[in-house]
Chains A and B, each alone.
Chain A
Amino acid sequence: MRVAVIVFPGSNADVDMFNAVEDIMGVSVDYVWHSTTDLSAYDVILLPGGFSYGDYLRTGAIARFSPVMEQVVKAAEAGKLVMGVCNGFQILLEAGLLPGAMLRNDSLKFRCKLVKLRVASNATPFTRDYAAGEVIEIPIAHGEGNYFCDEATLARLKANGQIVFRYEGENPNGSVDDIAGIVNEAGNVLGMMPHPERAVHEWMSSDDGKRIFTSILTTWRERNSATTHA
């Protein structure tokens, strides 16, 4: 299994993501520069946080047209697991791989703290190792995490079980329906504002993010053995 951590100009959580994959999944992982035009060697694509292209115009708006993004779309269409965290989530929204858009936090503050999340769905390849309804702690660090979508889209997200994480207690950014993370309809693309890669060891104040990485690994192993036996 090979994991790609996509690096855009201005990514800054790429090292944390890389380390989390190495530490928790123990699989081969590469930094992949945004100008790459071939991701066929990778099974899992991770878009890390940061401020790609300085957040110019809108968060993720310019990164979304990086050469690598065509390949990310292809990988998503092929059913590979794609996860975007924070700025990675914003890029997935701009790319149209996930519905909705991001607004500035309603508090106008950059929020950087450990927050409580409720696992709204554990029926995804990314959250199978959590219990449904479980409350976990994962840090956020963003100024634009105020997820917005229209009512029809929200109704679809709910009906399809696409809402994966909700803020529990205080909503730090004003997002619609307290949304912290969603998947696409097929369930293989996850976007979330909190940083699971920054909560994978007890000394990080929480290791609740670990199970996202173990879930990905379990999903891949299952799929892979199914293919081998087919």
Chain B
Amino acid sequence: MCKAVVYVTLRESVLDPQGHAVQGSLHTLGFDEVKEVRIGKYMEVVLDTRDRKLAEERVRQMCEKLLANTVIEDYRFEIVEG
């Protein structure tokens, strides 16, 4: 078994309304040093394979096809077990 941890975030060029709202709230709480908040998604995908190379290729395809929308999002992932 392999586990992939996948991070999906809005591209730098895309405004993040949620992150902006959280940033405002952190400022209200006195965390004045907060310069920016970007909100993304964290996913764990467990794969029934021991072949890390294959797992990497498959997860990349999953990201391109479904897990991320590359018009607005970037993704990165690591294979952490197996």
Contacts and interface: CB of A to CB of B under 8 A. Distances in A.
The number of chain A residues touching the other chain, given as a range, is: 10 to 19
B72 A103 contact: yes
A7 B41 CA distance: 28
Interface SS majority for chain A: loop
Interface string B54-82: 00000000000011010110000000000
Nearest to A173: B17
Interface in B10-46: 10, 13-15, 17-18, 21, 41
B17 A103 contact: yes
Contact of B72 (A62, A148, A174): A148
B66 A101 contact: no
Contact of A101 (B13, B15, B18, B69): B69
A108 interface: yes
Contacts of B10: 103
- Nearest first, the 4 closest Cβ-Cβ pairs linking A and B are A101-B71, A101-B72, A106-B17, A104-B17
23 contacts: A57-B41, A57-B66, A57-B67, A61-B69, A62-B66, A65-B66, A94-B69, A100-B71, A101-B69, A101-B71, A103-B10, A103-B72, A104-B18, A105-B17, A106-B15, A106-B17, A107-B17, A108-B18, A108-B21, A148-B14, A150-B71, A174-B15, A174-B17
